[in-house]
Amino acid sequence: MPITYLHTMVRVKDLDASLAFYKMLGLVERRRSENERGRFTLVFLCPPDQADGHADVELTYNWDGDDALPADSRHFGHLAYTVDDIYETCQMLMDNGVTINRPPRDGHMAFVRSPDNISIELLQKGDAKPAQEPWASMENTGHW
């Protein structure tokens, strides 16, 4: 089953300080998304020679603060991958004992956790698939 790495997300408390740090490491801003409704900013950075999106780091900044971030600086969010068929992938994972924490109710996005409790986001490649059962009515399990 083909799978493509997308990005690694980290939450940041101070977007300007974080951008300065990652740029100091040599990463460049590839794109930015401001979400007024969700009150957050996403900034995607990558090495200059990988501006096609490989090896992205997604900085997630919540405008109203993020007091939930642990003091020990473990702000890792998730790994993200596109898959050719979100439903087929989730079914295969379930058939192999993996809990689907956030089912692909929308035909677009699901979350699972690795055996080491790392959150993994799975995104449908291209357009979302039409909603279908059992996914459309499946509840979340745990957290992601």
Other C-beta atoms lying within 10 Å of the C-beta of residue 30:
19
User: Is 129 within 8 Å of 108 (Cβ atoms)?
Assistant: yes
Q: Which is the catalytic residue, given 58, 121, 133, 139?
A: 121
What is the b/e burial string over 66-96, where b = at least 16 CB atoms within 10 angstroms of the residue's CB?
A: eeeeeeeeebebbbbbbbeebbebbeebeee
**Catalytic residue list contains 58:** no
**Active site positions, annotated:** 121
